[in-house]
Amino acid sequence: MPDMTKNTPDRARTRFPGISSRAYEHPADRSALVALRSLTGFDTVLRRLSGMFSERALRLMFLGGSVRVGEDQFRNIHDMVRDAAYILDFDEVPELYVVQDPTPNAMAIGTDKPFIVLNTGLIELLDDEELRYVVGHEVGHILSGHAVYRTMLLILTSLGARLAWLPLGNLAIGAIVIGLQEWQRKAELSADRAGLLTSQDVHAVKRALMKMAGGPQLTEMNVEAFHRQAREYDAAGDVRDGLLKFLNLMQRSHPYAVVRFAEIDKWAGGAEYRRIMEGHYPRRQDDGSAKVTDEIRNAAKAYRDSWNETADPFVGKLRDIADGAAGLAGDLFARAGRRGGGQDRGED
């Protein structure tokens, strides 16, 4: 087993000229983004909605109450942001602010010019290579447009609170918010992949996720035991546990650390990551020709594959119900076809 407590020596990292965010996006995330990007005038509507969310005021708040990273402040982190933008071939280096907050957290926010915020709790928790992954994760959010659509989620959440007095207003907004929250959890898996492409050190990514779950005492943790924990969480206990997991997730913006750990381990060991590292990936110049229908099919396949691979009994029950419904529908169509065929033969 590799020594997870050691930093990886600095080295030249592979750059991905012209890489499209579609290269690393989770299929469920990618299908939603392609659909949103294809809607004529959607960005205009979103920017009008964002008038409810003052990006200018937010930036001024961080400019006045935190530290803006640059050549002469948090130089090391500035280099990480610059490197991430270079590796992912991003047009400009996003602004990054460091906030005094012991909660380990980071975010990318804004619509016109998204920027990154890092809490001091996260900087103190992670080593340089682990922090490089987090910075790449946030740059991936910006490259995918997640910061823009996350702002929409904040707007709708605020709007839902304002419409709470209406009998159906909050219910309608709530349904949209639930859907966006499910998308956001998949978007986090996409950003984890962007973080791995930036750091190109899967051990650093795993270390960071373990620390986010259990704190800085990495010597007290074990990568194989954490992986077993992820498998145990996936399998749950019975259908009730599966339902509770589902309900717990509805209150979260991120998947649990063990889930992210298992997902990035699987992706890092797969053919998709290997092809990207070899230079075979979707290009940004082809984004306009991406088809919504293809991405929806890819998303449906990803969900189906994850359902087939999971040991969660709750998901198994849902899968059985879905398969039973599909079988029933097939029988009905078959019977209708036979009846229709018989009538046709009678008329002949």
Residues labelled as active-site residues: 138
Q: How many CB atoms lie within 10 A of CB 214?
A: 13
- Can you list the pairs that 266-271 forms with residues at least 24 positions away whose Cβ atoms lie under 8 Å? 267/193, 267/196, 268/196, 268/202, 268/205
d(CA 115, CA 97): 8
Strands 96-99 and 115-119: parallel
**Helix/strand/coil for 104:** coil
Nearest to 90 by CA among 116, 71, 68: 116
Q: Which two tokens stand for residue 230?
A: 């992820």
DSSP symbols for 241-292: HHHHHHHHHTT-SS--HHHHHHHHHHHHTSHHHHHHHTT---BGGGGGG--H
Q: What is the DSSP letter of 218?
A: G
Q: Which helix (H) or strand (E) holds 117?
A: strand 115-119
CA atoms within 13 A on the CB side of 164: 4
